[in-house]
A and B are shown apart, each in its own frame.
Chain A
Amino acid sequence: MNPEWQAVWLTFKLALSTTLILLVLGTPLAWWLARSVSTWKELVGSLVTLPLVLPPTVLGFYLLIALGPEGPIGGLTESLGIGPLAFTFPGLVVGSVIYSLPFVVQPIRNAFEALGDRPLEVAATLRSGPIERFFRIALPLARPGFLSGAILGFAHTVGEFGVVLMIGGNIPGETRVLSVAIYDHVEALEWRQAHWLSGGMVLFGFAVVLIMSLLEKRLRRIGA
């Protein structure tokens, strides 16, 4: 595969895996954040939001140490026989999941909060159990939140740069994602390639924002 398409495919793969993992992990987390009355709630909520305000270099720096053989994550993967995660695709997924966490959890949490208690109480009077209520009432009603969470998480991971630059090691087909490939081309004065990739990113970004606003409009119309 030509190196540019390789970078595109790799970025797509990274964004997709990150989004899927975040939807699976983020849904119970968002549910708890939305419904719990625990005193820990705001503490955990702030932790989830933290990657939003931290410079990517802070995440990259700590990840580099944590993933190394003497770090907590590196020690764990080493003892499991997986080996260190830095400079590997799974390592990038770990980094991206942390980096994009607030972008997925926050919209889902908002959607759960907007539900209120009433639909769930009504369902309870109709003898629906808690699990059934979650899957048949809460999930379908919170669909707009899931949609924007997934789109934002995906797009944000595509746009990731600093963390990948620090823990990736620029390996073609493994960690050389689009943003790093562009940076590399610009540094090497290969502007033709840089133009192709950057132009593509602009179109992609524009499409994402447009789709987001169109979807939001449609969903609001359905909700009304």
Chain B
Amino acid sequence: MSLRLFLAVVMLAWATAPLAGEARVAVAANFTLAMRALAPRFEQASGHRLVVSTGSTGKLYAQILHGAPYDVFLAADRERPRLLEKAGRASGRFTYAIGRLALWARQSEDPQAQLRSGSFRRLAIANPKTAPYGKAAIQVLRRLGLYPAVAKRLVIGENVGQARQFVSTGNAELGLVALAQVLDTTPDHVWPIPPMLHDPVRQDAVLLARGRRHPAAVAFLEFLRSEAARRIIRQQGYATAGNHPRDRP
């Protein structure tokens, strides 16, 4: 192959990248498992392909602001998608899931009693500054009146996924994590936090500026609104808009 032809091929590959039918999705860490259930359904039905990156909502937001090549953003809050929309970098915001916290103990059969009695060394939460589930966790502790007592025993995961991992490796006895993350564990070790103890974690999705050109991104968001997808999301431990006890649109 002549050099000129080779260069032409490279340029062409460059110009069409990413391949048509591929969407890059930035997903808040708490939604990782649900995304794993959703993605194959969407890919089978549509023939498009999804490339998924996970992280804390705060980190993903900062990356998107600085030109990270994502097409869709599934955040864990409403604030960051709203800010992206305001900055003209995103559009079509809607709530795709409403999350709930759970207290997860690796060993105790009664996590709630363990938390209240203070018989633990470490309580893992997500970083309240960057992760909405971390913010909700602080809310729960304050409303239970336990915050001053446990503040010194908090260990902060970079995102809610790391908070869960601290508990599963046994390095923290308790963790305030997303209910969706602990659905597959022993139910006795999980205390689903009553909805009145924290504001519902409304999670918004947006189409990012880069995604407007990609049919796969638009199709994925459409799929996310479908009843089929909403059913999967509910099975994964979330409520969907209109299905939450405290949801008044």
Residue positions of A touching B, CB distance < 8 A: 64-65, 67-70, 74, 83-84, 86-87, 165, 167, 169-171, 184, 186-189
B130 contacts A187, C-beta separation under 8 Å: yes
Tell me which of B62, B122, B124, B171 contacts A187 (CB under 8 A).
B62
B234 beta carbon closer than 8 Å to chain A: no
Contact A165 B158 (CB under 8 A): yes
Contact of B171 among A64, A171, A184 (CB under 8 A): A64
A189 and B169 contact, CB distance less than 8 A: no
Determine which of B62, B157, B169 lies in contact with A65 in the assembled complex, contact meaning CB atoms within 8 Å. Answer: B169
Contact: B170 with A69, CB < 8 Å? yes
Query: Closest CB of chain A to B239's CB: distance in Å?
Result: 28
Give Cα A86–Cα B169 distance, bound, in whole angstroms.
Answer: 10
Q: Tell me the complex Cα distance, A83–B130, Å.
A: 30
> B236 contacts the other chain (Cβ, under 8 Å)?
no
- Confirm or deny: B56 has a beta carbon within 8 angstroms of a beta carbon on chain A: yes
> In the complex, A188→B61 CA distance in Å?
9
Tell me, in angstroms, the Cα distance from A42 to B190 when the chains sit together. 50
Task: Find chain A residues with CB under 8 A from B121 CB.
Answer: 83-84
- How long is the Cα–Cα vector from A184 to B62 in the complex, in angstroms? 11
Residues in B with CB closer than 8 Å to A64 are: 165, 169, 171
Chain A min CB distance to B44 (Å): 33
**Contact indicator per residue, chain B 111-128, by CB within 8 Å of chain A (1) or not (0):** 000000000011010010
Chain A residues whose CB sits within 8 angstroms of the CB of B130 once the complex forms: 184, 187-188
* B residues less than 8 Å from A187 (CB atoms): 56, 58-59, 62, 127, 129-130
CB distance from B26 to the nearest CB of A (A): 14
B166 CB contacts on chain A under 8 angstroms: 86-87, 169
Whether A87 pairs with B129 at a CB distance below 8 angstroms is no
Contact indicator B155/A70 (Cβ below 8 Å): no
Looking at the assembled complex, report how far the CB atom of A56 sits from the nearest CB atom of chain B, in whole angstroms.
14
Query: What A residues does B56 contact at CB under 8 A?
Result: 187
Task: State whether A169 touches B157 (Cβ < 8 A).
Answer: yes
